[in-house]
């Protein structure tokens, strides 16, 4: 029988750690967006699990949408080129937009997306990221809501993949080099 733990180097954040932090982020977002027309935009596929849990912790009316962007492919290193492979399906003109991302690495993708959504008429665009790797930043991008800061390691689990695997892990960890 398959055991993913054989491929995990280290568990960084447990299911309980994540649930507690997501609840805190949801409460903060609820307060900050009271009375606003908020569209929560999840960046697929990595942010899907995080966004599902996060929106259940936001206690105010919201709409959701999704975008797919790519800068990694099946590599562990960003190419630096952002491609939108699936765009929004809702009009964001005059709305507050909260981008939900799994992990911020170089900052290139979120810098691009923030400007792209502002140019589409969003009233304001803020970012909520489960994980932040500030040591890898190539482009400074403000991140209003951060779950956890992490070191420069390749992270998997809780929606975050390596070559489309490991998204279903209920924790966040690092992959053994022998597993990649």
Nearest to 162 by CA among 150, 170, 151, 173: 173
- More confident: 78 or 5: 5
132 contacts 103 by C-beta, under 8 angstroms: yes
Q: Where are the alpha helices (DSSP H) in 104-168?
A: 108-119
- More confident: 163 or 122: 122
| 157-170 burial code (b ≥16 CB/10 A, e <16) | bbbbbbeeebbebe
Q: Is the pLDDT of residue 76 over 90?
A: no
Q: Average pLDDT for residues 12-32, to the nearest whole number?
A: 98
Structure tokens at 53: 């849990």
Q: 82: pLDDT confidence band, cut at 50, 70 and 90? A: confident
Which of 4-8, 27-31, 79-83 is most confident?
27-31
Q: Is the pLDDT of residue 146 over 70?
A: yes
* CA atoms in the 13 A half-sphere facing the CB of 175: 17
Q: Average pLDDT for residues 148-157, to the nearest whole number?
A: 94
Q: Where are the alpha helices (DSSP H) in the chain?
A: 15-32, 48-55, 108-119
- Residue 180 has a pLDDT of 56
- List the domains of the chain with CATH numbers: 4-164 (3.40.50.2020)
Q: Give the DSSP H/E element, type plus range, for residue 171.
A: none
Q: Average pLDDT for residues 83-106, to the nearest whole number?
A: 94
Structure tokens at 17: 């750690």
The residue ranges of DSSP E strands in 6-95, in sequence order, are: 8-13, 38-44, 62-70, 83-86
Catalytic residue annotation: 105
Q: What is the pTM of this model?
A: 0.90
* Helix (H/G/I), strand (E/B), else coil: 38: strand
Q: 147: pLDDT confidence band, cut at 50, 70 and 90? A: very high
| Rounded Cα–Cα distance for residues 93 and 119 (Å) | 9
Q: What mean pLDDT is reported for the chain?
A: 91
């Amino acid at each position: 029988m398959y055991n993913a733990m054989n491929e995990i180097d280290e568990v960084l954040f447990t299911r309980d750690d994540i649930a507690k932090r997501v609840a805190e982020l949801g409460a903060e977002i609820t307060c900050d967006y009271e009375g606003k027309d908020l569209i929560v935009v999840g960046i697929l596929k990595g942010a899907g699990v995080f966004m599902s849990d996060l929106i259940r912790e936001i206690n105010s009316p919201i709409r959701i949408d999704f975008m797919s962007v790519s800068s990694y492919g099946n590599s562990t290193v960003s190419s630096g080129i952002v491609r939108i492979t699936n765009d929004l399906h809702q009009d964001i003109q005059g709305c507050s937009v909260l981008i939900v991302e799994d992990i911020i690495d170089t900052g290139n993708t979120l810098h691009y997306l923030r400007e792209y959504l502002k140019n589409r008429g969003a009233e304001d665009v803020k970012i909520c990221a489960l994980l932040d790797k500030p040591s890898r930043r190539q482009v400074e991008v403000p991140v209003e809501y951060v779950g956890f800061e992490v070191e420069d390691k390749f992270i998997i689990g809780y929606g975050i993949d390596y070559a489309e695997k490991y998204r279903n892990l209920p924790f966040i960890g690092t992959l053994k080099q022998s597993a990649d």
